Amino acid sequence: MRQAGIYSGMFSGGRTGPHLLPLARIKKIMKKSGDNVNMISGEAPIVFSKACELFIEDLTRRSWMVTMKGKRRTLHKDDVVSAFMATDIFDFLVSLVSDSTNPLDLTTVKRETFQP
Amino acid sequence: MDVLAPRLVLPVDPNSNIPNFITNINTNNANANLNVNANANANTSNGNQRAHPCIIREQDQYMPIANVIRIMRRILPSHAKISDDAKETIQECVSEYISFITGEANERCQREQRKTVTAEDVLWAMGKLGFDDYVEPLTVYLNRYREAENDRNNMRVDQLPYVGFKRSMDYGPIGVPPGPPSYGPGFPMAHHPGMFDASAMGGGEYHNGSGAGGSSSSSSGAQNSGLPSFDPYAQFK
């Protein structure tokens, strides 16, 4: 039976296991990040897969601290929001909150209309 | 263009004056969420008609929620619970993070008139945007990945110090124990980025459209020949 080496199992794109986040999905999100993203090297999604792990761990840790402060055991969205509001480098996430609290704001929705 | 804005979907009614909004809905994902917001208005010529839009989250633009939860669980104590909206929020944050960093990395590429966003660009952008704490562990991770890729491309069975098992693939077994042989000071990993890129991108380069960069054609060559002028196992002969 074939055994994956410690590196190949970890780094091969598309495999589950130690490689936690799907590279194809990362690549898709990268491409959508701007109209002018041309080519993406094969390594960039790999760096992101690890970076997103670190990011999720970081944000989760901070959010959980807020939960604990409130003496609760369930991590809520408000805890996540408090966590990133309190952290400078997470300022870019503020736009997520303003979108969700303002459901009538349709200006950022990309839509196609048919004119009959 | 805002990747994370909820997409507005209206039911298609050929008799109505409501414009039809069309989006792509990923119906394969069992995690698709449906939030009904009855307050939003559609812009129509008949001002009295109100739409009943369904706002559907496009799962394609987020990391799979199961993976996100798995990573969160590594941090949280076992008794902790996570609300659904917290999971979704973190999903959105991750996508926003990727877009944010990529945007900065891409701008740098454009300034320097390069077409390909590389791992170095991503790392640079992270440092610039305040994620210095991530840069070092990511650099270590990237270097280990590159070493492993080089091992896979260059290794031949007869030259392996450890004989594990034979594989049918032509680049030899990859069950290499940790602690790769120490490479001599001439090892090109740090010093020859051009040569290095060719083999490091052996895993494939992603690109849009028909633009064929020089490096994409060399990647297939690198698979077979590795680094022709360098034999990392020369010291073992």
Token pair of A8, please?
């190949």
**B 77-96 residues inside an 8 A Cβ radius of A:** 79-83, 85-86, 88-90, 92-96
- Predicted local confidence at residue A1, as pLDDT: 58
Instruction: For residue A112, give how far its alpha carbon lies from the nearest alpha carbon of chain B (Å).
Output: 6
| pLDDT, position A35 | 79
Q: What is the pTM of this model?
A: 0.56
Tell me the C-alpha to C-alpha distance, in Å, between residue B208 and each of A39, B172, B228. Answer: 6, 32, 30
Q: How far apart are CA B226 and CA B189, in angstroms?
A: 13
Between B155 and A93, residue with greater pLDDT? A93
Query: Per residue in B60-69, pLDDT tens?
Result: 899 999 999 9
Domains of chain A and any CATH numbers: 23-101 (1.10.20.10)
Measured CA to CA, the distance from residue B50 to residue B46 in angstroms comes to: 9
Cα B30 to chain center, whole Å? 22
Task: Tell whether the model's pLDDT for residue A12 goes beyond 50.
Answer: no
> Among partner residues B67, B94, B213, which is closest to A39 by beta-carbon distance?
B213
User: What sign results for the dihedral spanned by CA atoms A88, A65, B89, A101?
Assistant: negative
Residue B17 to chain A, least CA–CA distance (Å): 9
- Interface contact B21, partner A, CB < 8 A: yes
Phi, psi for residue B9 in degrees, rounded to 5: -125, 125
Rounded Cα distance, B130 and A93, in Å: 14
What is the number of CB-based contacts under 8 A between chain A and chain B? 274
| pLDDT, position A68 | 95
- Helices of type H across B112-208: 119-128, 132-154, 193-200
Distance from CA of B114 to the nearest CA of A (A): 9
Answer whether A88 sits within 8 Å of B106, measured CB to CB. Answer: no
For residue B35, give the amino acid letter. Answer: N
DSSP H or E segment with residue A79: helix A77-85
B15 C-beta neighbours (distance < 10 Å), count: 5
Please give the residue that has the higher pLDDT: either A14 or A54. A54
B58 touches chain A (CB under 8 A): no
Question: Helix B65-75 to helix A43-69 angle, to the nearest 10 degrees?
Answer: 60
CA distances from B140 to A51, A79, B137, B184 (A): 12, 32, 5, 19
Residue of A nearest to B201 (CA): A42
Q: In chain B, positions 171-200, which contact chain A (CB-CB < 8 Å)?
A: 173-176, 178, 197, 200
Alpha helices in B54-83 (DSSP H): 65-75
Give pLDDT < 50 ranges for chain B: 2, 12, 16-48, 168, 171-177, 179-228
Its ipTM equals 0.74
For residue B113, the chain A residues in CB contact (below 8 A) are none
